[in-house]
Amino acid sequence: MLLLYAFMAALLSSAATAITCPTSFVEIDGACYSFRPEIQGTWSAARDFCTNLTTPSTLAMPKSPDTHRRFVEYIATYGLDGSFWLGGSDLEHEGDWHWVDKTRIDRGTPFWSITSELLGWSQEPGGGGEENCLALDETRRYYLNDVNCDLALHPVCQMK
Ligand SMILES: [Ca+2]
């Protein structure tokens, strides 16, 4: 049984690393992502930027803690500056956070930033109707934060 498990694990990991991503994309956890620090715009402009790439893409959806951590490692490794837009929002229903593929965004730790306020610690998302778009926030050490959709941040695209 243990051998079978090891075999399956090897098979899965080799399948995950077999992906070849197109130019300007990088493979992280079996998917292809493109970090674009040279592009800056609103959340909807960033979403359109990804949609209009020659490689069909959406804004990135790093759904697992491992993928989130590898995003942060990538940003640190390449010394990228600034905050990045991710493919998530609560634009359709206030407080109801979804990825752009309509799946629900996990709340709480280890994804969302905590912040120290007058009455103690609180956790994002905390912007209510003013902050409806999902950012990988540089000022929060690249934890998730809900921010104003009109901020000028950089897109991270994910190949479809
Ligand atoms: Ca916020």
Chain segment 99-123, per-residue pLDDT in tens: 999 999 999 999 999 999 899 999 9
**How far, in Å, CA of 30 to CA of 32, rounded?**
7
User: 62 CA to middle of ligand 1, Å?
Assistant: 18
In this predicted structure, what is the pLDDT of residue 19? 86
In a domain, 141, yes or no: yes
Structure-model confidence comparison of residues 14 and 71, the more confident one: 71
Which one, of 100, 107, 116, lies nearest residue 144 by Cα?
A: 107
Question: How many domains does one find in the chain?
Answer: 1
Residue type, 87: G
Give the CATH number of the domain where residue 76 resides.
3.10.100.10
Separation of CA 139 and ligand 1 centre (Å): 11
Determine the distance separating the centroid of ligand 1 and the alpha carbon of 126, expressed in angstroms: 5
In a domain, 134, yes or no: yes
If we measure between CA atoms, which residue out of 85, 141, 87, 80 comes closest to residue 110?
141
Inside any domain, residue 99: yes
Residue 6 maps to a domain: no
Do residues 137 and 144 make contact, with C-beta atoms less than 8 angstroms apart?
yes
**Residue 31's domain spans which residues?**
21-106+123-159
The pLDDT value recorded for residue 17 is 55
16 C-alpha to center of ligand 1: Å? 34
Residues of the chain with pLDDT > 70: what percent?
A: 89
Ligand 1 centroid from CA 156, angstroms: 19
Contact call for residues 12 and 19 (beta carbons, < 8 A): no
| Three-state DSSP state, 77 | helix
**Mean pLDDT to the nearest integer, 139-156:** 98
- Report CA(20)–ligand 1 centroid distance (Å): 35
Tens of pLDDT, residues 25-58? 999 999 999 999 999 999 999 999 999 999 999 9
Calculate the average pLDDT of the chain.
92
Contact 25, 50 (CB under 8 A): no
Q: How far is the CA of 76 from the centre of ligand 1 (A)?
A: 22
Determine, yes or no, domain membership for 9. no
Query: What is the reported pTM?
Result: 0.87
* Tokens standing for residue 104: 């629900």
Distance CA 39, CA 22 (A): 19
At residue 20, does pLDDT exceed 80? yes
d(CA 71, CA 59): 13
Ligand 1 centre distance from Cα of residue 19 (Å): 35
